[in-house]
Amino acid sequence: MKPKVIFILGPTAVGKTYMGVNLALKLNGEIISADSVQVFKGLDVGSAKVTKEEMQGIVHHAIDILQPNEEFSVFDFVEYTKKKIKEIISRGKQPIIVGGTGLYVKALTQGYNFGETDKDENLRKKLQKLAEEKGNDCLYELLKEKDEELALKTDRHNTVRLIRALEIAENEGNKKQNEVEFDFLIIALNKDREKLYYDINKRVDTMLEQGLIEEVKTLLNKGITAENQCMRAIGYKEVLSYLNGQCNFEEMVQILKQHSRNFAKRQLTFLRGMENVNYINVSDKQIALNEILKLVDCWLKRTF
């Protein structure tokens, strides 16, 4: 029987952190973050990074594991997470993956190995020629058209990585697929759309009150630029535009809220495209937690 792993997914600001921690407390679990921004040190406010108080003593992985000038690909996440799952299980604990980065979830649950997509020499030559003639920006825009999420995780100044990413995007339906090593229970949190958007807008206000602008200034002072992967994340790129004089404060706030709501829409769309997703309404946290615990209990007892 395959080792069992629980996913707590959902759109931004829906309450994944709260539910993941409380589930871990009940199940003697450890949490692996599936958030493409929380892996970076110093990106705390803008990523709504879980605090020590919120952790309530639960061990969290994939948080603060990289410097902000480093890169972290989908392949890196899959390899890191597989290793951590095995370590957690070896300690007799329950792995719980909590986050909202859809491509991470897809890669892990469907057995994709992004590092082993078949090489296409003809495509590589074509893309190399395109880079020489029109530059990396052309490759990057092409990648954005094919896979926006993968583009956000690819260094637009690195021709080799851009070509590799385009090769992966081009072969989306033909990726080498490994046998899935784990048995996954996928739980998706949701709430009334109007309430969700209210919470998203409120979270943006809270981030700004907690020092998001100062956080971005600190990163800039450390030499981080708009070209670094971490600064292409929602929250950071909008503040950077404001600091560069491309918009005023009020415009920045509205743009950031709009981008955050749009991101939530994309997350929900992604979840609807997945199979075997168990949706839980979290309008009432305690009722939702009880429903999740019942669902998990039945699933853990399943032997087939």
What is the percent of the chain with per-residue pLDDT over 70, rounded to a whole number? 93
Mean pLDDT for the stretch of residues 51-73 = 96
- On the question of pLDDT at 304 being above 60, the answer is no
**What does the alpha-carbon distance between residue 65 and residue 53 come to, in Å, rounded to a whole number?**
19
The phi, psi pair for 63, rounded to 5°, reads -125, 130
Tens-place pLDDT, residues 137-193 = 999 889 888 887 778 778 788 888 888 888 878 765 445 555 688 999 999 999 999
Sign (positive or negative) of CA dihedral 54, 57, 61, 66: positive
Which whole-number Å values give the CA distances from 97 to 13, 165, 210, in the listed order?
16, 25, 27
Yes or no: say if 257 and 12 are a contact pair by the CB < 8 Å rule: no
- C-alpha distance across the termini of the chain, in Å: 8
The CATH code of domain 4-113+176-301 reads 3.40.50.300
pLDDT tens, 239-253? 999 999 999 999 999
At 101-142, the pLDDT tens digits run 888 888 888 876 554 455 567 888 889 999 899 999 999 889
The CATH number of the domain covering residues in 118-174: 1.10.20.140
Q: What residue ranges do the domains of the chain occupy?
A: 4-113+176-301, 118-174
How far apart are the C-alpha atoms of 166 and 147, rounded to whole Å?
Answer: 9
- The Cα-based distances of 205 to 100, 250, 256 in angstroms read 20, 11, 10
CA angle, residues 58, 264, 114, in degrees to nearest 5: 70
Tell me the C-alpha distance between 279 and 126, whole Å: 44
